[in-house]
Amino acid sequence: MEDTVGGWWDVLIRKAAYRGHPRAAVQLADIDKLAPVFFRAMGGAAGLGLRSTVGTEHAGRRSLLERIAGTNTTLELTWSDARSLYLPEKIDLFPDKERNKQLYFWLLALSAEYAALLADTEFAQADWLERNRIATVRCLRAMPGLGQIYALLVREYIPLRGALWDLSAQEQQIEKHIRQTLQNPENPAAAEMTDVVETAAQAGSCSKTRSKTRKKTVGITPVHLWMHPTPPAHAGQAASDESSGRDGENDQHQSEDTRKRRRYRAQKAAPDERQNGPLIVFRAESIFTWDNYLKINRSDEDDGDNDTRPADDMDTLSVARDTKKRASRLRFDLDLPGAEADGTPIGPGILVPEWDFRQQVLLPDYCVIKPMLPHDARPCEIPQHLIRATHRLRRQFQALMPQRSRRFGQVDGQDLDLDRVVRFFTDVKAGQAESNGGLYVDRPRSERSLACLLLADVSLSTEAWVGRGEQASSVINVIRDSLMLFAEALQASGDSFGLYGFSSLRRKEVRFLLLKDFSEPYDATTRGRIAALRPGFYTRIGAAIRHSTRILKEQPAHKRLLLLVTDGKPNDLDHYEGRYGVEDTRQAVIEARQAGLVPFCVTIDREAGDYLPHLFGSHNYVVVHDATRLPHVLTRLYAALSQNG
């Protein structure tokens, strides 16, 4: 009974203490499609992904009810790093839903300007308040249309910061300066500027600090309309990079769950070197909680019972580098495919460059392409379940074959034009013939001059299953069927084509599977190679596209198509994940276009709309939401792309 009443009381007190307006709340998911487009239009880096952040502690004053309920201890603020832009998961600050939505778009615009200004050393070294003031001024100057929205937001936001009389003299001085800066960012207050700004920067650091002149805690609430005063440390990111960052391969499959997209504050911690034997004597009060450092293994996406809900309530995650590598090596070996994924090498490694967006330089001979044949490939015929679709596609694509036309009145040709010959001899008898030219019919072949290279992603993630019930199938099976039907269709059309697959294991082992070279015929051998495809390793798309570009450039065709079929974002065991992999892939696509190719992407990743427009352009990709329809989409897409060949 006590637990029941306590639960009722907790719900009641939390509801009474809550300052937000749930009925007017706007979720980040509500603007998930429009936000990336708006951010890029405002000048933001196109390679940044969009994620929700978590609350960080602040030193602002709380009401009596909030202190009793233990709420309003954290705030979700906006910030960005080299990989992503982090926004509040929900905004319900204002009672008007439209105003909450406008706040989202204001933060997107401010983030774009703020990130651009960070390249300026003087701006980067300025204090928190001055950086936000300058960014606000620059944002309003660059986008005057936002001025009215900003004015409305400030007018309704300032009363929400509370009354000044409840603050100490020092806090009142800081708060007045913040409000003056919000209302008129062009003309900041001049009185005692240095001391006020220094103290305001300390107060805005989202932690309880003490000033040098007074021992009283400074309690100033950070500004919701500004960027985070002290963005979460990059310790977590560094640790992730050091530990090979292998979580990216399956991240796209978890993105539908919003909390998987969160970014936590991180702090470095010393590893716990204590040895835990089978029998442990301990006192109950010494048991660790989630708020203490706890030595655990890296997260395993295969552990379905791994409950991470307690972490969602945490502000800081401690990250330590463990010098003991045995467990990580064991896990690494278990993650890799078996021997059946190893192909048969067919030549020495081929060096290709890679784009480092951080240095803005193309690293020469950085990756090694290893051409291979699929393991244990045996010639075979068309699978029974594809025969009906194959006959249908052959009939459709035979209509695309170059047709012969007849040209009459030619000086030379394959046949005589009998009508012109009779007319000529009649004119000769009448004495009117002037010439005997133009008596032949020619049937020249109307060539389309088109070559197509299809590059299939056969990474580890293609082991995943799609569909339900009897329609369920693994992604790799769908890709095999797609390649088989695609090859049958192109064989019927008479166009030149090549089929390749790829996966990677760091930069020195990008496996490039030869299924059908341009110089080879399409036959049972090709079908056997396609049937022998197995899920490989990881997805270093940039290197695979660059090698495919080299192959396709050598084909004597007027139009050359490069089709990429994939199921996720670029990633690998090393640093090739996040924005690094995205920017390298984008650069590889740009190089392909400069070489005269037409690159196009077909993906089954539902979240591809967040990054594919940056990689291939807004009209050069298609997302297939039902993976089982991939063969149908692929063949129809080729028919459309080849019309102007």
For 48, residues 6+ apart whose C-beta sits below 8 A from its C-beta are 39, 80, 83, 84, 85, 579
404 DSSP assignment = B
Query: Among 14-18, 118-122, 348-352, which range has the highest average pLDDT?
Result: 348-352
**Does residue 130 lie within any of the structural domains?**
yes
User: DSSP for 127-190?
Assistant: -HHHHHHHHHHHHHHH-GGGHHHHHHHHHHHGGGG--GGGS-HHHHHHHHHHHHHHH-TTS---
| Claim to verify: residue 453 and residue 570 sit in the same structural domain | yes
Position with higher pLDDT, 433 vs 619: 619
- Low-confidence winner among 95-104, 269-278, 364-373, 570-579 (lowest mean pLDDT): 269-278
Predicted local distance difference test score (pLDDT) of residue 33: 80
User: DSSP for 529-541?
Assistant: HHHT----SBB-H
| Claim to verify: residue 615 and residue 482 sit in the same structural domain | yes
Predicted local distance difference test score (pLDDT) of residue 298: 44
Predicted local distance difference test score (pLDDT) of residue 152: 93
To 10 degrees, the CA torsion angle through 22, 26, 29, 30? 130
Instruction: Express each pLDDT in 234-270 by its tens digit.
Output: 434 443 443 434 344 334 333 444 434 455 555 555 5
Q: Give the Cα separation of 161 and 344 in Å (integer).
A: 67
**Does residue 95 lie within any of the structural domains?**
yes
| Claim to verify: residue 201 and residue 313 sit in the same structural domain | no
Best CA proximity match to 452, nearest among 484, 503, 487: 487
β partners of residue 499: 454, 516
Q: Give the Cα separation of 619 and 562 in Å (integer).
A: 15
| Per-residue three-class SS string for 472-505 | CEEHHHHHHHHHHHHHHHHHHHCCEEEEEEEEEC
Question: Above 50 in pLDDT, residue 217?
Answer: no
Position with higher pLDDT, 243 vs 606: 606
How far from chain centre, in Å, is Cα 322? 29
Q: Give the Cα separation of 582 and 588 in Å (integer).
A: 10
Strand 90-91 and strand 84-87: the pairing is: unpaired
Q: For residues 599-612, give the mean pLDDT.
A: 85
| Claim to verify: residue 295 and residue 366 sit in the same structural domain | no
628 DSSP assignment = G
Query: Could you identify the residue written with the tokens 């030193």?
Result: 59
**Does residue 226 lie within any of the structural domains?**
no
**Is 565 strand, coil or helix?**
strand
- Of the chain, the percentage scoring pLDDT greater than 70 comes to 72
Of 420, 442, 464, the residue at which a domain comes to its end is: 442
Q: Give the Cα separation of 205 and 58 in Å (integer).
A: 8
Residue type, 356: D
| Claim to verify: residue 302 and residue 423 sit in the same structural domain | no
**Does residue 225 lie within any of the structural domains?**
no
Strand 496-504 and strand 450-457: the pairing is: parallel
Task: Give 541's pLDDT tier (boundaries 50, 70, 90).
Answer: very high
Predicted local distance difference test score (pLDDT) of residue 285: 47
| Claim to verify: residue 137 and residue 10 sit in the same structural domain | yes
| Claim to verify: residue 189 and residue 311 sit in the same structural domain | no
Question: Above 90 in pLDDT, residue 218?
Answer: no
Question: Above 70 in pLDDT, residue 393?
Answer: yes
How far from chain centre, in Å, is Cα 636? 26
**Does residue 526 lie within any of the structural domains?**
yes
Position with higher pLDDT, 407 vs 266: 407
Q: Give the Cα separation of 89 and 40 in Å (integer).
A: 20
Asked if residues 398 and 493 have their Cβ atoms less than 8 Å apart, the reply is: yes
Question: Above 70 in pLDDT, residue 213?
Answer: no
Q: Which two tokens stand for residue 133?
A: 């003031």
Task: Give 352's pLDDT tier (boundaries 50, 70, 90).
Answer: very high
How far from chain centre, in Å, is Cα 206? 30
Start-to-end CA span in the chain (Å): 77
pTM of the model: 0.64
| Claim to verify: residue 519 and residue 415 sit in the same structural domain | no
What residue numbers bound the domain in which 435 lies? 407-442
Number of domains in the chain: 4
Predicted local distance difference test score (pLDDT) of residue 49: 77
Question: Above 90 in pLDDT, residue 586?
Answer: yes
Strand 84-87 and strand 79-80: the pairing is: antiparallel
Question: Above 90 in pLDDT, residue 62?
Answer: no
Predicted local distance difference test score (pLDDT) of residue 347: 80
Predicted local distance difference test score (pLDDT) of residue 206: 46
| Claim to verify: residue 359 and residue 435 sit in the same structural domain | no
Of 311, 330, 349, the residue at which a domain comes to its end is: 330
| Claim to verify: residue 387 and residue 431 sit in the same structural domain | no
Q: Is the dihedral of CA 304, 307, 308, 309 positive or negative?
A: positive
User: Where residue 376 sits, what CATH number does that domain have?
Assistant: 3.40.50.410
For 298, residues 6+ apart whose C-beta sits below 8 A from its C-beta are 243, 328, 331
| Claim to verify: residue 364 and residue 475 sit in the same structural domain | yes
Position with higher pLDDT, 478 vs 339: 478
Q: Give the Cα separation of 417 and 11 in Å (integer).
A: 95
Question: Above 90 in pLDDT, residue 74?
Answer: no
Instruction: Express each pLDDT in 427-477 by its tens digit.
Output: 778 777 666 567 777 766 555 688 999 999 999 888 887 766 666 778 889
**Does residue 233 lie within any of the structural domains?**
no
**Does residue 433 lie within any of the structural domains?**
yes
Q: Give the Cα separation of 496 and 28 in Å (integer).
A: 46
Neighbouring C-alpha atoms within 13 Å toward the C-beta of 537: 23
Predicted local distance difference test score (pLDDT) of residue 150: 93
- Other Cβ atoms within 10 Å of 87 Cβ, number: 24
Predicted local distance difference test score (pLDDT) of residue 404: 52
Predicted local distance difference test score (pLDDT) of residue 342: 63
Question: Above 90 in pLDDT, residue 6?
Answer: no
Question: Above 90 in pLDDT, residue 539?
Answer: yes
Question: Above 70 in pLDDT, residue 195?
Answer: no
Predicted local distance difference test score (pLDDT) of residue 627: 79
Asked if residues 584 and 549 have their Cβ atoms less than 8 Å apart, the reply is: no
Task: Give 409's pLDDT tier (boundaries 50, 70, 90).
Answer: low
Query: Among 9-23, 54-68, 481-495, which range has the highest average pLDDT?
Result: 481-495
**Does residue 70 lie within any of the structural domains?**
yes
- Low-confidence winner among 131-145, 261-275, 399-413 (lowest mean pLDDT): 261-275
Backbone angles phi, psi at 500, to 5 degrees: -140, 155
Of 292, 308, 330, the residue at which a domain comes to its end is: 330
Q: Which two tokens stand for residue 108?
A: 């997107």
Predicted local distance difference test score (pLDDT) of residue 516: 94
| Claim to verify: residue 213 and residue 350 sit in the same structural domain | no
State the chain's mean pLDDT as an integer. 77
Question: Above 60 in pLDDT, residue 120?
Answer: yes
